Structure 1
Amino acid sequence: MCGRFSQAYSWDEIVAFSQPLTNKLPAEKGNLQPRYNIAPTTMIHIIVKGESGRELREARWGLIPGWHKGGLKDFKLSTFNAKVETVDTSGTFKHAYKGRRCIIPASGFFEWTGEKKDRVPHFFSAADGDLLAFAGLYERFRDPESGEEITTCTMIVREANAWTAQYHDRMPCMLLQRDFDAWLDGSGGMELLKQPPRELREWIVSKRVNKAGEGDDDPRTIEPFKDDLF
């Protein structure tokens, strides 16, 4: 599964990557806060198909399905990942799969190797240095206690390819830029999720990322580990 990733990019980079965005850009660009150690239940960026085109929105990572009638704190299922094998049939995800899809832009993601008490974190990013596009789903949720409406989302994961399986048995489903429209408008399906993923590169990073949220605002978090770095 994928429980930690990074979103570190400028307005220019995310606009070009999304081909393009229709959001009204701020007068002074560069105000996107980079995130280097994102954990579930926090707010992240997602790309959705809006009325006038693709939009960058914020969503809580951990999907809350429409059938949940309790409050935000009452929902106990772990839904930050959705397995590709059951995403179109699961009662939790199937309705979003049919009509509420999103792309989760990422600068990379983490996986761990080694014993549980001494886990070694590895950072994975695109071999060409570009952003990655994780396939996702979203739902809108209104908390009956506060009345607040939020967007929640999940990341779809698949069996790892041969190279990534050296580190973990699962990996995010990655979309190619040519398939963004087909994924978002629903004209594409499982064939997009199960196609060969982007070529990746990997390196070991500091164990400080073993703690959720640690170093989330520090670019050194995703740098190759050196004993004297921290």
Structure 2
Amino acid sequence: MTAGGRELISARWWLVPGWWKRSLKEVPSTFNARVETVDTSAMFRDSFKRRRCIVPASGFYEWTGPKEDRTPHYFSAADGGLLGIAGLWDRWRNPEGADIISCTMVVRDADEWTSKYHDRMPSFLQPDQFNAWMSGEAGKEILRSTPPQLQEWIVSKQVNKTGQGDDDPRSIELSLI
């Protein structure tokens, strides 16, 4: 939050802690922060205490099926609104001296509905929880709040082809279930 309120900024996905001394390629898997260890893991605990954010999302993907033939599913809010995902951010200075702002989302055990697709899910925040999360007043209990009602579609397998057509709008074309 800034003095004028919240601001929307672009950040690199995959949290890089400000204290990181190695190369960017050597950062371990930090694209998700598990709610169970978000306050104790060396990679996340400082951001949990001091640098929280909300990751706005129109939806998210999960894949099901055998590794050689994965089916992508797209999830969004049932009411069509934006989703607010609990996140963390940090600022890291690379060896060339440039600041990189990075972020991650907090994930939790899946609820009953989502567990059909994956054993984890994002930690969603309701709008009335945003201030408590951002200010640090809320502890980990907020990260296990009841998620919004979601809807699911099976989508084009184009989303499985990393590096091929990443900007192709057909990647999110909805298929009939």
Range into which the TM-score falls when normalised by the shorter chain: over 0.9
Aligned match of 2:132: 182
Aligned match of 1:87: 38
Match of 1:222 among 163, 172, 175: 172
Following TM superposition, by how much is the alpha carbon of 1:189 offset from its aligned partner in structure 2, in angstroms? Answer: 1.7
Q: Which runs of 4+ in 1 moved over 4 A?
A: none
- Within-5 A mapping of 1:203-214: 203-214=153-164
Aligned match of 1:39: none
* 2:147 counterpart of 1:197: yes
Following TM superposition, by how much is the alpha carbon of 1:141 offset from its aligned partner in structure 2, in angstroms? Answer: 0.4
* 2:7 counterpart of 1:55: yes
Distance 1:108 1:210 in 2: 16
Return 5+ residue gaps in structure 2 as ranges: none
Q: For residues 201-226 of structure 1, give each alpha carbon's deviation from its aligned partner in whole angstroms, at most 9, with x where no partner exists.
A: 00100111012254443443223226
Q: Does structure 1 retain, via aligned residues, the 8 Å contact 2:16–2:27?
A: no
Q: For residues 145-177 of structure 1, give each alpha carbon's deviation from its aligned partner in whole angstroms, at most 9, with x where no partner exists.
A: x11101011110000000000011111000000
Distance 1:216 1:132 in 2: 22
- Within-5 A mapping of 1:110-189: 110-144=61-95, 146-189=96-139
Distance 1:197 1:121 in 2: 21
Following TM superposition, by how much is the alpha carbon of 1:140 offset from its aligned partner in structure 2, in angstroms? Answer: 0.4
TM-score of the two chains, using structure 1 as the length reference: 0.73
Q: For residues 46-83 of structure 1, give each alpha carbon's deviation from its aligned partner in whole angstroms, at most 9, with x where no partner exists.
A: xxx1232101111100011133112323x230101000
Aligned match of 1:64: 16
Aligned length, in residue pairs: 176
- Within-5 A mapping of 1:27-42: none
Q: Does structure 1 retain, via aligned residues, the 8 Å contact 2:15–2:89?
A: yes
Distance 1:182 1:76 in 2: 30
Return 5+ residue gaps in structure 1 as ranges: 1-48
Distance 1:225 1:50 in 2: 41
SS in 2 for 1:165: helix
TM-score of the two chains, using structure 2 as the length reference: 0.94
Aligned match of 1:107: 58
